[in-house]
Amino acid sequence: MPRILVNYRRDDSAAYAGRLADRLREHFGRENVFVDIDTIRPGEDFVDRIDQSIAACDALVAVIGKSWLNAADSKGRRRLDREDDYVRMEIAKALERHIRVIPALVGDAALPEAAQLPQDLVALSRRQAIEISDSRFHHDVDVLVEALSGSSTAPPQPAPPRQSVRENGGQVGGTALPSRWILGGVLAIASIALVVWLLQRPDPPVGETTTAGIAPSASPTGSVPAATSSSGSGSAPSTPAAGGSTGSGAPGGAGLPAPEIAAAPAGKTGIQIVWRAESNVPCYLYDETATKVLSPTFVLDVWRCKRDSGLWDAAPGKYQIKFGEVADTMPPLPITVTRGQVVRVEPRIGQLRLHWNGSNDVKWFLLDITGEKTLSPTFVLDVWGCGAGKVCAKDLGPGTFLVKVDAAGYQPVKVTIAPFRVTDVTIP
């Protein structure tokens, strides 16, 4: 497994680098992806620190935004012209040691030309770059992952000759696999799938006394009023595409009532989520730059947004909250925690209900408005499914999307999700 260093300039591409690092960690493992190497402790030799970082990696991803080339210091000098510039030093040492360097162009940036770079970075201009666009982020990162998968310094091993699976004891390639190992592996996978399914089940309905579409009651003394996500809602009605949809695809159904939230204890400091959806999803607390996760990430102890969310203790400061299992439709939500107060956060969640009137079970997918990017899961174990004649609901962030069912002849249907509202789509 390759070890990857993500090199970036904070005031140029911090948001892109954080999102990119999250995707790389999902594929290669958190322990194999390094970010924020340029944070040097007082008294530490930064040259030795960078040497150690470069020596420990197999590949370096240089995230380049529009201001990467001409970023200046407090005296107006171009940072790349300074020999002690951390970004320059990391890339230069990687090139010197013949470590693979992949420029990742973000925000419509272009790869710098040789004449624009200091001498020790000229080789960077000859490296094949990968463009990571906002509209095709996941597709472009998949290309980067594929490129990095061949970055390990371990010498390639010859592939063994392909042999068919034999029936005598599950023998593969001439090596006997004990049946107890096979059975144990199947049971282990089934156990993990069961745990994940149990954790992801929607919470049972709870008492609903808040009027639908109205914000929760005023915060008690010592708390901050509810905050909301900055993402747009796009609540105008939309016209369904051809394909047999009889629903409007626009919000207008029932509202999602806010749950009853107990008064926050006076003098406490922390975060409380007002979650209107019935499902519960993993939520992650990040630092202000959205590059360092501060809350648990393991499936068994991850923080979850749900209707009876308790108080999350958090020191005063600025953070961002990221939401899982909402089909990549809710951007990180910035918040500020003040000492002695509880900030109440009300994410702008909406709900999509698919009424599937077909005779067979069906898989269904959420696409972006261009139809080029799939936002919902596609892996066989977590792909969305809906039974014949059933109504299947998913909680999503606000926006306009396309819904596609995996059945012959049906075209994608345009839908608009509004915060705190239900959008119904009937097919066929």
Q: Are 401 and 369 in contact (CB under 8 A)?
A: yes
Peptide bond into 296 cis (omega under 30): no
pTM: 0.47
State the pLDDT at residue 392.
94
**Full set of structural domains in the chain with CATH:** 4-148 (3.40.50.10140), 351-427 (2.60.40.10)
Per-residue pLDDT at 206:
32
Provide the pLDDT for residue 245: 47
Quote the pLDDT of residue 171: 38
Q: How much is the pLDDT for 201?
A: 46
pLDDT, position 321: 94
Residues 6+ apart with CB under 8 A from 3: 32, 33, 34, 56, 57, 58, 59
Separation in Å, CA 163 to CA 160, 168, 171: 9, 14, 10
What gap in Å lies between CA 51 and CA 124, rounded to an integer?
A: 19
* Among 331, 337, 346, CA closest to 318: 337
pLDDT of the residue at 398? 92
Residue carrying the six token digits 């990467």? 68
The residues, any chain, with a CB within 8 Å of residue 111's CB and separated by 6 or more, are 64, 103, 105, 125, 127, 129
The pLDDT of residue 145 is 92
DSSP states of 44-106: --HHHHHHHHHHT-SEEEEEE-TTTTT-B-TTS-BGGGSTT-HHHHHHHHHHHTT-EEEEEEE
From the centroid of its chain, how far is CA 39? 24
Q: pLDDT tens digits for the chain (428 residues)?
A: 888 999 999 888 888 888 899 899 999 988 888 886 545 566 667 777 778 878 888 999 999 999 999 999 888 899 999 988 889 999 999 998 889 999 999 988 999 999 899 999 999 999 999 999 888 888 999 999 998 986 544 433 333 343 333 333 333 334 444 555 566 666 666 666 565 555 544 433 333 322 222 233 333 333 333 333 333 333 333 333 334 444 557 666 678 888 887 777 788 999 999 999 888 899 999 999 888 899 998 877 889 999 888 889 999 999 999 998 888 898 889 999 999 999 998 999 999 999 999 999 999 999 999 988 899 988 777 889 999 999 999 999 999 999 999 998 899 999 999 999 999 999 98
